Structure 1
């Protein structure tokens, strides 16, 4: 087994061990310590895999879910669905991959802490980017950002609703998600109408010219919207 595969296997072993402890101790140093004991991974290797401790452990769990969702969507035929339904299907697929809601509930609390909020927002952005990428988005301008920003808001709201939903098959969550996507579609229609209005076009000519120069970032681990492949 080469070094990369060894690191990946070690990271997965720690994550698998942590899952049993998170519902009781949250994404914490206590959980990290217990996961290392259960997995047999030594502290030196753990420091390399999770240099920021519990924060990197929680992020690794979230990013693993994004990767699994992307893999599942790649094997799913969504071609017959309306585009809004493809987005909804992708969001629900991401939620259905969660082993235990308490893992996400604890994560929501963890990333609500001021010192973790920026990384939490980045993680949600990464999920939105993973969904758009899986659905074949090729935008390279301002739309790259607006699509991910909008979906990040929709996804965050849906997760909070989902955490309290005990309906069969999370039917109520799907209905909630459909309504949120419907709101976004109405907003997009309004934007299109304003864009076709001569007066609006004249007033917005300057800002639109500037925004037209915005380009999507190149793929890099240091840029928003990138899912860690490790």
Structure 2
């Protein structure tokens, strides 16, 4: 009897959590209300230069993401006055669990649970609880030329972005953050993971252009501007980034691509 009662309680708790997750996801992708996003900066390498860069950041530095997404949403007929609002939390002093490289399905599940638990423990930003939490790890470009792959979790509405602690790289960092943020609301990657080249046609901002390359913009979930069939460039600003129809459909801006 006690065993059956414990199982019933556990199932009730799981059902409550699942319902809460579904409600949060549905609210985030309905675009009826403003999607509230909080940025949590993290000094990923512990360097002084990285700490100085983070100390100089303000919420205004991330407003271009909200402005860009608002303009893109209006192109698809979204009538919400302010589709996205972004706030900046104080820097985190703890590092999140690092995502494994090329994980198995089981490793991905375990890391996702670890990340969601870590985010719950370190979500002490002032103000109302955000819809989406973006943990942004900054790295000093003077000591490393590449950063680990960024990740966005639809379950839990959590993003982990790895970017450079540099004003020169700020524009491309905003694109990385926007890319991972859209993952949390249902967008999928539109590039070849082996080559990082945008997939045609969904990963092209202008798939009907002839010849197809060079393109002048990047599709946000492809992350690069195709310059030739073999080469692509990372955009230096969100001005050179767009939301394609397939992505718009995935995040609820269109019924179908």
TM-score if structure 2 supplies the norm length? Answer: 0.26
- Answer 1 or 2: which has greater helix percent: 1
Q: TM-score, normalised by structure 1?
A: 0.28
**Larger relative contact order (Cα-Cα within 8 Å, sequence gap ≥ 6):** 1
